[in-house]
Chain A
Amino acid sequence: MNAGLVILAVIALATLGYFVGRARALAKAGGDIRGLHSLPNYYGQTVFLFTAVPALLVCVGWLLLQPLYVEHRVSDMITPADIAEGSSQSLVMADIRRIATGLDTAVARGALTGADLSSLSADATDVRALLAGVGVALASEVKGSVLAAAKEYRAATATLKMAMSVVVILIALAGFVLSLRRLRPDFRARNVSETAIKALLILASSVAILTTVGIIFSLVFETANFFGLHSAADFFFGLTWNPQFRGGSDLGILPLLWGTLYVSFVALLFAVPIGLLVAIYLSEYASNRVRTIVKPAVEILAGIPTIVYGLFALITVGPLLRDYFAQPLGLGTSSSSVLTAGLVMGVMLIPFVSSLSDDVINAVPQSMRDGSYGLGATQSETVKQVILPAALPGIVGAILLAASRAIGETMIVVMGAGAAAKLSLNPLEAMTTITVKIVSQLTGDTEFASPETLVAFALGLSLFVVTLGLNVLALYIVRKYREQYE
């Protein structure tokens, strides 16, 4: 029986348990709900949970551990002699897995019978051709020991699968029977349900956390590989970024970091004041009618795909800045520049700042405004001296969110600022950012294990650390402010 069927069977049994449990609880209380500790549904849920949860947990655990165990057993059958020149243990294991599935398919299609299979030997039959016939292509001839390992792999997998089906269904049955037997009118079924919900919530949040941990680990792992191949000093302190196909590259992060921070800074310089003013206008001055039109109109900006912003930067803003600023002022001749990307990204960020700040400003209680107006303050005095200070933690949060967005942005930068890594103060020169270089290092023909490719992970990790730092800073600011005023 395959795993999907087993799971379905367990759930079916649990569902049956739900109805039986409910009916049984009612019957024990003599048909009177008031005689029960909890509503009958909760007794049903209890039986469902005791039947399904342990069985499914075992099932998942088994499915995770089984391949590990089988591979361990099979890998003992492979001697170093079986590993060809330029190959590795893991490649051979991958072959074994493919052969095993191939054999399965062959048996399923009737190209082989069970008896054929047990007598199958690498010397007598052309296994490669046989498997090619069922659609499994192999790179080389199959050696005797490898074929034996594959057969063993197949057999062990089949046995264990069978065992799993039996064990899981037994556990489900045990849960079913035991929980039904424990049902009494004073059994606290509501509390069982409560615990289950709590566990579900914890599980959901741990998915998010574990994913983050997983991402960090994969980044750290590849970054460690990179630092094994390339000097860390060059990466962190090198002033040039110049990857070479033939090795001997300069992979200094500083020009990229500079580009990232410069572009983001220009973008925020543009987006934060405008976004804040928009938010203040919308929440304090605009009439309801204006608000219902302007707010969605501003938020449309957030829905435009970044590639469209990139086009706008490339075709309109870039040439405009070049023709009217850069060339007349003698500051550059390139249409891609930090200023181009920064301005266009700033436009993209306006709704981030304005929308969040608007919400925060609206959350400031009306009594604060009343207090200020009641003392004879004007609207702008009230905004400046009472509302903005009260809304500050939220506004800082909005700005930092916009900042992380700016730092992670790629498309607008490629099309607006170019791809030349440079350390320069001139905002009308082309520069590039970390994200752009991550993409360009990973898309290309370079070998995956070279420092030129692995540097992408080190760049990614650095970017992650920068945004993490920003978030920590945001928390710190918000907390400090809270202590003072709440």
Chain B
Amino acid sequence: MYDAPNLGAKVEQKTNKIEANGVQVYYGDTHAIKDVSVAIESNTVTAFIGPSGCGKSTFLRCLNRMNDTIDICRIEGDIRLDGEDIYDKRVDPVQLRAKVGMVFQKPNPFPKSIYDNIAYGPRIHGLAKSKADLDEIVEKSLRRGAIWNEVKDRLHEPGTGLSGGQQQRLCIARAIATEPEVLLMDEPCSALDPIATAQVEELIDELRAQYSVVIVTHSMQQAARVSQKTAFFHLGHLVEYDNTSTIFTNPRDERTESYITGRIG
């Protein structure tokens, strides 16, 4: 059901990319995340699973300070990226988000051409030295997003004209184009067909060589296929966090077991 390639070979080089300690999140009076502590390792795919509304997206958005854009959202606790507190006053959230990229639950291409959608991040951060350079970044990103073949002849048509699944892959390609160190993906495959899903999973596996990837998913099979670590959330609590193999074969908490076997949801 799951594969753990080269787990043994690489395990000793892994460091903690992100460390969260005692994180609490409130939306006004709603307590959405309750005392969550988790360490996300570099060169690892971490899956967040859990029933709808349990706070997976909320926690994910804490990791790149996207919750700053929500007025009523309040965050307590400590989140460190490479040992540096990301909620420290000296940290520029804009800089942080360039390092911690995000793919959202709903595809949200900009009302621009496909090319400009991908080139958006590289242009803002000055990643391309020339037009040819930019062209190359765009092509590479689209290829890695598994959508190049479908759009290579219509790069200058609007990104909003693509189908839902194509839009989602466009957004994935857009996020990789800025070369983040951590990629947060909120249900990236929920609108994709099995072929595109397989392509995206392959991409995620490939990204692991350079980045940390955190993926929220409702598909147990997907979590088992792509991730090395799995975190199970329930009602705002982090119930269990362990190697994916352990979670799926030998969970410690009975809530985890019920969830992955489909008894609670």
Contacts and interface: CB of A to CB of B under 8 A. Distances in A.
Contact of B94 (A368, A371, A377, A486): A377
Contacts of A371: 104, 108-110, 171, 174
B175 interface: yes
B110 A376 contact: no
A372 B125 CA distance: 12
Contacts of B175: 374-375
Contact of B110 (A288, A372, A373): A372
Nearest to A486: B160
Interface in B85-121: 94-99, 101-102, 104, 106, 108-112, 120-121
A375 B66 contact: no
Contacts of A368: 108, 110-111
Given A367-B104, A370-B66, A486-B160, A375 B121 contact: yes
A370 to B, nearest CB: 6
A484 interface: yes
B108 A376 contact: no
Nearest to B174: A375
B11 interface: no
Contact of A381 (B64, B69, B99, B124): B124
Contact of B98 (A365, A376, A390): A376
Interface in A346-380: 365-378
A389 B104 contact: no
A485 B158 contact: yes
A285 B174 CA distance: 26
Given A367-B106, A376-B98, A389 B112 contact: yes
A244 interface: no
Interface in B152-185: 158, 160-161, 171, 174-175, 178
Contacts of A375: 97-98, 101, 120-121, 124, 174-175, 178
Determine the interface band of chain B, counting residues with CB < 8 A from chain A.
Answer: 20 to 34
- Output the residue of B95, B111, B160 with the most chain A CB within 10 A: B111
Contacts of A372: 110, 120
A252 to B, nearest CB: 46
Determine the interface band of chain A, counting residues with CB < 8 A from chain B.
Answer: 20 to 34
Contacts of B120: 372, 375, 377, 385
A89 B64 CA distance: 86
Contacts of B111: 368, 386, 389-390, 485-486
B29 interface: no
Given A371-B104, A373-B97, A485 B112 contact: yes
B110 A390 contact: yes
A374 B64 contact: yes
B71 interface: yes
Nearest to A374: B102
Contacts of B112: 386, 389, 485
Nearest to A366: B69
A373 B175 CA distance: 11
- Output the residue of A288, A371, A484 with the most chain B CB within 10 A: A371
B249 to A, nearest CB: 35
Contact of A374 (B95, B104, B106): B104
Interface in B25-72: 64, 66, 69, 71
A386 B110 CA distance: 7
A371 B124 CA distance: 13
A479 to B, nearest CB: 15
Given A370-B108, A371-B108, A376 B121 contact: yes
Contacts of A373: 66, 69, 94, 97
- Output the residue of A377, A385, A390, A486 with the most chain B CB within 10 A: A377
A485 B66 CA distance: 26
A374 B160 contact: no
Contacts of A369: 69
Contacts of A385: 110, 120
A309 to B, nearest CB: 37
B95 A376 contact: yes
B108 A485 contact: no
- Output the residue of A288, A368, A375 with the most chain B CB within 10 A: A375
Contacts of B97: 373-376
Contacts of B124: 375-377, 381
A370 B178 contact: no
A367 B160 CA distance: 13
Given A367-B108, A370-B108, A485-B112, A376 B94 contact: yes
26 contacts: A370-B66, A370-B69, A371-B109, A373-B66, A374-B102, A374-B175, A375-B121, A375-B124, A375-B174, A375-B178, A376-B96, A376-B101, A376-B124, A376-B125, A377-B120, A377-B121, A386-B110, A386-B111, A386-B112, A389-B110, A389-B112, A390-B110, A390-B111, A484-B158, A485-B112, A486-B158
Interface of A: 288, 365-378, 381, 385-386, 389-390, 484-486
